[in-house]
Amino acid sequence: MASNGKKFRCGVVVEKVQDLFQASQDHRLVHCVSTDLRMSRGIADQFRRRYGKLNELENQGPNVGKVLRFQDGRDRCSIW
């Protein structure tokens, strides 16, 4: 409880079982990848197959710690 007597919630986690790629528009998909953008296995492979646009990502000069951005076709900015 806060010092002013009001209750607040911090760090609330809600776990859902659903298709990650069908998440609502207010959610952003984020994934870490290596600088070579190979993405050949697991969830990285699913990102590559679903979104492609590797040339667009390569043109942004991937580097350790750098965020690469692109539009995913649903007017939602995804970040890799």
pLDDT digits (tens, 9 = 90+) for 7-66: 766 777 888 888 988 888 777 788 888 899 988 999 889 888 888 888 988 999 999 888
pLDDT of 1 > 50? The answer is no
d(CA 1, CA 28): 31
pTM reported for the whole predicted model: 0.65
C-beta pairs of 37-41 under 8 Å, 24+ apart in sequence: 37/62
Listed in sequence order, the residues at least 6 apart from 50 whose beta carbon sits closer than 8 Å to its beta carbon are: 21
User: Is residue 2 assigned to a domain?
Assistant: no
Which of these, 29, 53, 25, 27, lies nearest to 39 by C-alpha position?
Answer: 53
3-class secondary structure, 34? coil
Question: Is position 3 within any domain?
Answer: no
The verdict on residue 41 lying in a domain is yes
Residue 64 lies in a domain: yes
Domain interval for residue 41: 33-79
In a domain, 16, yes or no: no
Q: Are 41 and 49 in contact (CB under 8 A)?
A: no
Q: Is residue 47 part of a domain?
A: yes
Count up the domains in the chain and report the number. 1
* pLDDT at site 59: 92
Is 73 part of any domain? yes
More confident residue, 75 or 41: 41
